[in-house]
Amino acid sequence: FETLNTPEFKASYNVPEHYDLVATLTLGYKSDERLSEMERKPALIFNR
């Protein structure tokens, strides 16, 4: 991960110089047709 801690990389992604990047994180869902076919359960709504 030394590439992530170079001044050039940090400047291009607006990361403060005193930060150390230790890992990359990818969030989201894989693009897959089956996901659109899945049924969703109705949302639970709690009212008084």
Residue predicted with more confidence, 32 or 20: 20
Helix, strand, coil percent content, the chain, rounded in steps of 5: 30, 0, 70
Residue predicted with more confidence, 37 or 16: 16
Is the pLDDT confidence value at 32 over 70?
no
| Contact status, residue 35 vs residue 29, Cβ threshold 8 Å | yes
d(CA 19, CA 10): 9
d(CA 14, CA 8): 10
Whole-model pTM above 0.85?
Answer: no
